[in-house]
């Protein structure tokens, strides 16, 4: 039932980037009709999860950014999909900048003029494939206390001659009890924040927040190591931060809270292509590498008031209001009347005086990994935080979400925000003498399940039809799938409106949408995809015929 968001709004806006799914070859072969953002995770379209996260945080100014070719599909889904229409008001906006195509880097997206004019305050940046059960208000509180500077929020440089707001990113551990093969990781180096007198409440995230000093995707790291055979660490890093923790198995959740000046930073630096790698990586380095802030133009962007007392930065050509003429750089040598601390109890930069602009830190919240669950009842595993960008992850996260108790089994408050109303949404469609393990299965609306079937630990999408004798174990079925009689499917992912003939035995398979798998197929670890789109067109035939050897352009479905 649509209703208005009734918690306080923080002054942030949210951007959700709905890109093509390049790691989902089976299911996003046609990214315009079936954009990745609409793939179902536990029967809800993928984009529902970041949207719900924003609403839980109280953010109402949400914009989805997608390429113009996919805009129609997403707009229709926003109007018709039952989960998306039950999100609270105000509805998210959809922006499709005309220069955005399937290959634009994420930082380039932020450089587009439509997006630059859209972002007017500090903002939250989310990917469309993030499943985050973590309390949004805790993350916002962490940003408000640790990163945001009162000087920026209150637009007053008089009371707090302090630094500009910093950013906050989220990283999570990929080496969980059930790791997924081939999941991307990032290599990050973190440094503990200076001890402060901030009281950490019991549930707060502060103990897990560190200062990010180095960030690089593991792939790039491997390339670097291949090239140079050893990992060189800059001495400046060790000089400023003697104790750096290097983490190799974490992954960037791509959930960032950025201050507004990052938009200027990206606009002025054309070399930045992706946010995760370039923007965050360079920002982290700018914190300790002398000369880098100037090269990146950060001194101009951050250079605000030319207060004579405390600032140690070179005053930039005044982008700041009110204050008097440029400060004299000669002040740097004198004993400071107070270092660049603001009135907060913690000093975010304890570095000695230098002529560099003080770059506000990029903080990293390292989501603690779930302990191996000894007894499921004793300690609930920590909140789920995963990116879902490969099919294996899709399966795993869907199954994980299927295990959450539904709303009718627990009270409304103890339930996770991802709990469904009922595990079996349409119990009338389920014939007797079927086995459905309710505690780890999710069956959507309008599903007919015939007799003598067995469904264990699976997720069944809407309008599916499971015929007699089928056995499904750890499967994910999207909308409208028809499973023939006596099939045995294990760890399979079946795309929309696909059909599995009778008697098939499939293990670890993926079936693209609209595909028909012949009866009595036995397959293991195979991807059933149509080769449409691989067909050669008439012109290409003609070219080949005139050019030389024949290529087979066999078309079939």
Partner 1 sequence: MATEGSSAPAATPAAPSAAPTTPANTANPPATATAPAGTPQLTPAQLKAKAKAEKQARRAQAKEVKAAAAAAAPQPAPPGPDAKGGKGKGKQDAAQAGGTQPRTGTGPNLAHRPSMSGRRPSILVVEKDMRSSIPECFSHIPMAKRIPISQANKDVHPAVLVVGQQMATFAIKDSISRLGATLLAFRKVIEAYETPKGNSLSRHFVPHVLNPQIEYLTECRPMCFSMGNAIRLLKAKVNSFDIDTPEDEAKEGLLEMIDLFMNERITLAEFVISKNAAKQIYDGDIVLTYGRHRLVEKTFLKAKENGVDFAVSIIDDPYDRGGQELSKSLKEAGIPVYYSPNLGGLRHNVRRATNILLGAEAVFANGSVHAAAGTADVAVAATNTGKKVTALCETINFDRERVSVDALTYNEIDPEQHSSDGFRLLFDTTRDQYIAGVITEFESGTGNSPAQAILALLRKQEDPTIN
Inter-residue long-range contacts of 153-160, CB under 8 Å, 24+ positions, other chains counted = 153/11, 157/304, 157/305, 157/307, 157/320, 157/322, 157/323, 159/343, 160/342, 160/343
How distant, in Å, are the alpha carbons of 378, 437, 541 from that of 420? Answer: 23, 16, 51
By C-beta, is 160 or 488 nearer to partner 1?
A: 160
Q: Could you tell me which stretch among 202-210, 232-240, 246-254, 519-527 binds partner 1 (CB under 8 A)? A: 202-210
When binding is defined by CB under 8 A, the residue of 25, 63, 114, 153 that contacts partner 1 is 153
x/- letters, 157..196, toward partner 1 (CB under 8 A):
-xxx-----------------------------------x
By C-beta, is 145 or 224 nearer to partner 1?
A: 145
Euclidean distance between CA atoms 265 and 319, whole angstroms = 14
Give residues 455-484 in contact with partner 1 (rule: CB under 8 A): none
332 in contact with partner 1 (CB under 8 A): no
User: Who contacts 545 (Cβ-Cβ below 8 Å, separation ≥6)?
Assistant: none
By C-beta, is 338 or 548 nearer to partner 1?
A: 338
User: Who contacts 5 (Cβ-Cβ below 8 Å, separation ≥6)?
Assistant: 55, 58, 60, 88, 89, 90
546 in contact with partner 1 (CB under 8 A): no
Strand, coil or helix: 199? coil
Q: Could you tell me which stretch among 95-103, 105-113, 175-183, 203-211 binds partner 1 (CB under 8 A)? A: 203-211
Asked if 522 and 539 count as a contact pair (C-beta separation under 8 A), the reply is no
Q: How far is the CB of 394 from partner 1 (least distance, A)?
A: 22
Q: How far is the CB of 554 from partner 1 (least distance, A)?
A: 51
Q: If DSSP states are collapsed to H, E and C, what string results for 23-77?
A: CCCCCCCCCCCCCHHHCEECCEECCHHHHHHHHHHCCCCEEEECCHHHHHHHHHH
When binding is defined by CB under 8 A, the residue of 75, 150, 236, 516 that contacts partner 1 is 150
Euclidean distance between CA atoms 13 and 58, whole angstroms = 10
The H or E element that residue 551 is part of is none
510-511 sheet: strands from edge to edge: 442-443, 459-460, 476-477, 493-494, 510-511, 527-528
405 in contact with partner 1 (CB under 8 A): yes
368 in contact with partner 1 (CB under 8 A): no
Residues in binding contact with partner 1, number by CB under 8 A: 64
Q: Could you tell me which stretch among 148-156, 243-251, 258-266, 465-473 binds partner 1 (CB under 8 A)? A: 148-156
User: Who contacts 521 (Cβ-Cβ below 8 Å, separation ≥6)?
Assistant: 501, 504, 505, 506
16 in contact with partner 1 (CB under 8 A): no
How distant, in Å, are the alpha carbons of 424, 456, 488 from that of 473? Answer: 16, 5, 8
When binding is defined by CB under 8 A, the residue of 25, 68, 105, 135 that contacts partner 1 is 135
Euclidean distance between CA atoms 528 and 25, whole angstroms = 11
Asked if 139 and 170 count as a contact pair (C-beta separation under 8 A), the reply is yes
The H or E element that residue 493 is part of is strand 493-494
By C-beta, is 140 or 477 nearer to partner 1?
A: 140
Euclidean distance between CA atoms 151 and 53, whole angstroms = 28
Euclidean distance between CA atoms 32 and 40, whole angstroms = 16
When binding is defined by CB under 8 A, the residue of 80, 322, 330, 411 that contacts partner 1 is 411
By C-beta, is 79 or 158 nearer to partner 1?
A: 158
Q: Could you tell me which stretch among 324-332, 337-345, 386-394, 481-489 binds partner 1 (CB under 8 A)? A: 337-345
Strand, coil or helix: 85? helix
49 in contact with partner 1 (CB under 8 A): no
Q: How far is the CB of 202 from partner 1 (least distance, A)?
A: 8
Q: What is the CB-side half-sphere exposure of residue 96 using CA atoms within 13 A? A: 14
Q: How far is the CB of 335 from partner 1 (least distance, A)?
A: 5
User: Who contacts 355 (Cβ-Cβ below 8 Å, separation ≥6)?
Assistant: 312, 313, 314, 329, 332
x/- letters, 53..92, toward partner 1 (CB under 8 A):
--xx-x----------------------------xx----
Q: Could you tell me which stretch among 155-163, 300-308, 443-451, 512-520 binds partner 1 (CB under 8 A)? A: 155-163
6 in contact with partner 1 (CB under 8 A): yes
By C-beta, is 144 or 509 nearer to partner 1?
A: 144
When binding is defined by CB under 8 A, the residue of 201, 220, 379, 531 that contacts partner 1 is 201
Q: How far is the CB of 218 from partner 1 (least distance, A)?
A: 31
When binding is defined by CB under 8 A, the residue of 206, 268, 505, 526 that contacts partner 1 is 206
- Which residues sit at the interface with partner 1, rule CB under 8 A? 3, 5-12, 52, 55-56, 58, 87-88, 133, 135-138, 140-141, 144-145, 148, 150, 153-156, 158-160, 196-201, 203-204, 206, 335-339, 341, 343-347, 405, 408-417
């Amino acid at each position: 039932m649509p209703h208005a968001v009734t918690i306080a709004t923080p002054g942030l806006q949210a951007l959700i980037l709905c890109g093509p799914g390049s790691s989902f070859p089976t299911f996003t072969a046609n990214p315009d009709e079936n954009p990745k953002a609409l793939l179902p995770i536990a029967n809800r379209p993928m984009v529902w999860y970041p949207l719900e996260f924003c609403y839980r945080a109280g953010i109402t100014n949400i914009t989805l950014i997608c390429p113009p070719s996919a805009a129609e599909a997403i707009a229709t889904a926003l109007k018709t999909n039952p989960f998306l229409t039950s999100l609270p008001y105000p509805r998210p906006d959809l922006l499709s900048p005309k220069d955005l195509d399937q290959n634009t880097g994420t930082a380039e997206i932020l450089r587009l003029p439509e997006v630059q004019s859209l972002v007017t305050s500090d903002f939250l940046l989310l990917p469309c494939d993030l499943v985050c059960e973590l309390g949004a208000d805790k993350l916002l509180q962490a940003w408000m206390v640790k990163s945001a500077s009162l000087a920026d929020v209150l637009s007053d440089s008089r009371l707090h001659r302090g630094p500009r707001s910093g950013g906050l990113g989220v990283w999570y551990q990929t080496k969980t009890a059930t790791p997924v093969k081939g999941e991307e990781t990032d290599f990050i180096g973190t440094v503990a924040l200076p001890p402060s007198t901030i009281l950490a409440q019991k549930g707060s995230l502060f103990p897990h927040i560190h200062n990010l000093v180095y960030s690089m995707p593991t792939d790039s790291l491997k390339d670097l190591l291949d090239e140079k055979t050893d990992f060189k660490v800059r001495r400046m890093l060790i000089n400023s931060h003697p104790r750096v923790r290097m983490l190799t198995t974490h992954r960037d959740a791509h959930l960032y809270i950025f201050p507004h000046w990052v938009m200027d930073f990206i606009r002025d630096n054309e070399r930045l292509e992706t946010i995760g790698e370039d923007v965050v990586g360079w920002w982290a380095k700018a914190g300790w590498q002398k000369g880098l802030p100037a090269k990146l133009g950060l001194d101009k962007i951050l250079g605000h008031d030319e207060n004579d007392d405390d600032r140690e930065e070179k005053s930039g050509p005044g982008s700041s209001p009110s204050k008097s003429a440029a400060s004299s750089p000669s002040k740097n040598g004198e004993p400071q009347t107070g270092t660049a601390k603001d009135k907060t109890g913690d000093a975010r930069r304890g570095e000695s005086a230098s002529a560099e602009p003080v770059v506000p830190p990029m903080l990293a919240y390292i989501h603690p990994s779930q302990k191996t669950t000894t007894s499921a009842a004793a300690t609930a595993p920590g909140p789920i935080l995963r990116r879902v960008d490969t099919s294996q992850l899709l399966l795993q996260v869907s199954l994980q979400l299927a295990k959450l108790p539904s709303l009718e089994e627990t009270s409304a408050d103890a339930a996770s925000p991802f709990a469904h109303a009922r595990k079996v949404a349409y119990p009338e469609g389920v014939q007797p003498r079927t086995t459905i393990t309710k505690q780890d299965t999710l069956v959507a609306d309008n599903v007919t399940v015939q007799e003598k079937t067995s469904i264990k630990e699976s997720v069944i999408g809407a309008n599916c039809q499971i015929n007699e004798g089928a056995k499904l174990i750890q499967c994910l079925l999207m909308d409208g799938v028809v499973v023939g009689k006596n099939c045995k499917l294990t760890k399979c992912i079946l795309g929309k409106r696909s059909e599995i003939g009778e008697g098939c035995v499939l293990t670890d398979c993926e079936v693209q949408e609209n595909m028909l798998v012949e009866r009595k197929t036995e397959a293991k670890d195979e991807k059933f995809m149509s080769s449409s789109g691989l067909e050669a067109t008439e012109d290409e035939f003609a070219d080949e015929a005139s050019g030389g050897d024949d290529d087979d352009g066999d078309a079939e479905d």
